[in-house]
Amino acid sequence: MKVLVIGASGFIGTHIVKYAVSQKHQVVAGVRKSSDTSQLQNLQVPSTVFSYHSGELLQKEMEELKQLYGTFDLIIHNAGLTKAFDPKKLFETNQVLTVKFAKLIEKQGLLSAKGKFVYVSSLAARGPSGVLKPVTNYGRSKLLAEEQLLEMSLPLVIVRPTAVFGPGDAAFLKLFKAIKMNIAPLLAKPTQQLTFIFARDLARLLVDYAPAQPDSTIIAATDGKNYAPGELYSCIGDCIGKKPVTVRIPSFVMMPYAHANEFFAKIFKGQPVLTPEKMNELTADWGIAEGDITPKDFIFTSLSDALKESAEHYRQNGLL
């Protein structure tokens, strides 16, 4: 199978390429000119540079791509922006640019007769399980992209990953480091519902499972289980031989900090570490919701095994 991965250089993108290569697929990695492609070099896959924000150049690059490789059996669109100082950039990248890519793919006839376009969205587009609408600009930008893609005639499957972790993930590394110090920070209530998916499982789902689903299917990519924060902390503690103490940090303490963080970031033109919007996201329930279409007959890596593998990767690379 010939596979094009758009947004191939990041944490998730690298896992997608690595898995597709392991399955003997012919893979082309789509990256930005400024992308760090060091993780892809060992995989020995050809890459193509996309000028994301230049419509004229992007069209030319798509034409050249078609001339070089012909059509693809699977195109995975994994490019996106998770945070930005200016919210407009989220919509420009996650909504406008995604649709631009899709239209050019359609115009150039880059998909084979039985090919599939798989869009990597986010559970943030669905929103928290008790709300079922986006609570962040990131989630809203992803939802708008979904809606516009569904209006097109491309053979499309949308995948909404929940929190993704695994070897190479910087976000979970911070949590591992905190728990190594016997501290388990808790911003939400102890009964908060969380969902997770191991990066390699997500890659398998995107390459093997999603393309076989009916057009217009929207898949909630979780391992099918809900977890309380304490379960996650205990699992990580077991992996590194620690028994962390849960430290509850109330919202009335963190929310003023988040507002101040956002305020000063606007003044100094920086990227805020924490915002009120992010606090709402971090403290919400992200469990499986009624109406979610979750993968059937798909074997997931257990949370404990996935965390053990992640911990071992961090150790081997001198990060933990």
Structure confidence by residue, pLDDT tens digits, 150-175: 999 999 999 999 999 999 999 999 99
For residue 35 the two structure tokens come to 């992308």
Task: Report DSSP state, residue 121.
Answer: -
| pLDDT one-digit tens code per residue, 241-260 | 999 988 888 777 778 877 78
Enter the tokens of residue 12.
Answer: 């998730």
Distances from the Cα of 52 to the Cα of 16, 138, 145, 248, 265, angstroms: 20, 18, 16, 42, 26
For residue 23, which of 5, 4, 1 has the smallest C-alpha distance? 1
Residue 272 in tokens: 């805020």
pLDDT surpassing 70 at residue 137: yes
Output the CA torsion sign for 170, 173, 177, 179.
positive
> For residue 87, what pLDDT is reported?
85
Taking the C-alpha atoms of residue 254 and residue 73, their distance in angstroms, rounded to an integer, is 47
Confidence at residue 45, expressed as pLDDT on a 0 to 100 scale: 92
The pLDDT score that the predictor gives to residue 39 is: 79
CB-based contact 152:102 (threshold 8 Å): yes
- Which pLDDT does position 319 carry in this prediction? 94
Percent of the chain residues topping a pLDDT of 90: 72
Amino acid at 189: K
Tell me what pLDDT residue 273 has.
Answer: 73
At 268 the pLDDT is: 67
No. of helices (H) and no. of strands (E), the chain: 12, 11
| Distance (Å, whole) CA 5 – CA 28 | 6
Domain extent at residue 207:
2-165+195-223+288-299
pLDDT in tens, 98-108: 999 999 999 99
The verdict on residue 229 lying in a domain is no
Residue reference for tokens 């699992």:
235
43's torsion region: left (phi>0), alpha (psi -120 to 50) or beta?
alpha
Query: Which whole number is the average pLDDT over 210-219?
Result: 97
The pTM is what? 0.93
Q: What pLDDT does residue 91 have?
A: 95
What is residue 34's predicted lDDT score, i.e. its pLDDT? 81
Question: How many domains are contained in the chain?
Answer: 1
Residue 113 falls inside a structural domain: yes
Asked whether residue 78 is domain-assigned, the answer is: yes
In a domain, 309, yes or no: no
74 has which bridge partners?
Answer: 3, 116
Which pLDDT belongs to residue 269? 65
- As beta bridge partners, residue 217 has 157
- For residue 28, being part of any structural domain is answered with yes
CATH number of 294's domain: 3.40.50.720
Mean pLDDT computed over 14-20: 97
Question: For the chain, how are helix, strand and coil distributed in percent, rounded to 5?
Answer: 45, 20, 35
Q: Each residue of 258-306: pLDDT tens digit?
A: 778 777 767 766 677 788 888 888 889 999 998 899 998 999 999 999 9
In a domain, 40, yes or no: yes
Report the alpha-carbon distance of residue 200 to residue 220 in Å, rounded.
16
Q: What number is the average pLDDT over the span 120-139? A: 94
| Token couple for 121 | 């969205």
Give the span between the Cα atoms of 193 and 205, in whole angstroms: 23
H or E element: which one contains 175? Answer: helix 170-180
Instruction: Give the list of residues 6+ apart from residue 78 with CB closer than 8 angstroms, or none.
Output: 5, 6, 7, 8, 10, 12, 13, 16, 120, 206
pLDDT at 11 > cutoff 70: yes
pLDDT over 70 at 310, yes or no: yes
**pLDDT tens sequence across 32-81:** 888 877 778 888 899 999 987 777 889 999 999 999 999 999 999 999 99
